[in-house]
């Protein structure tokens, strides 16, 4: 997909909440991948830190990203992890060619 906007979202679960966060994040993957503007949507667990989850995403354009933020699966995920995260960082990236 040309000019795909990449997102790297780094989420750190509060100690003791790793499994709940993992389940909530995983529940968002299938719906996100089915969105028209989604090129890829992958969830990872940091091998060195079991509290750190990393989404690596690819989107067609900014409109697709904004639409994603309004979907039921995204809103449900956000609500489920809101009080269970210690840290959240989102990077929106353009590939340099």
**Topology annotation, domain 5-50+61-93:** Alpha-Beta Plaits (3.30.70)
| % the chain with pLDDT above 90 | 93
At 47-77, the pLDDT tens digits run 999 999 999 999 999 999 999 999 999 999 9
Q: Residue 97's pLDDT is what?
A: 79
CB 11 within 8 A of CB 84: no
Using CA atoms, how far apart are residues 95 and 73, in angstroms rounded to an integer? 27
Residue located via tokens 């989420």: 11
Its pTM stands at: 0.93
Domain ranges of the chain: 5-50+61-93
């Amino acid at each position: 997909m040309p000019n795909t906007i990449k997102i790297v979202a780094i989420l750190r679960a509060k100690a003791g909440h790793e499994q709940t966060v993992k389940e909530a994040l995983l529940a968002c993957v299938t719906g996100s991948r089915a969105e028209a503007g989604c090129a890829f949507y992958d969830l990872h667990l940091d091998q060195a830190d079991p509290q750190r989850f990393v989404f690596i995403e690819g989107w067609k354009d900014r409109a697709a990203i904004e639409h994603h933020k309004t979907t039921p699966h995204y809103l449900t995920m956000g609500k489920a992890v809101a009080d269970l995260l210690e840290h959240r960082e989102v990077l929106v990236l353009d590939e340099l060619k």
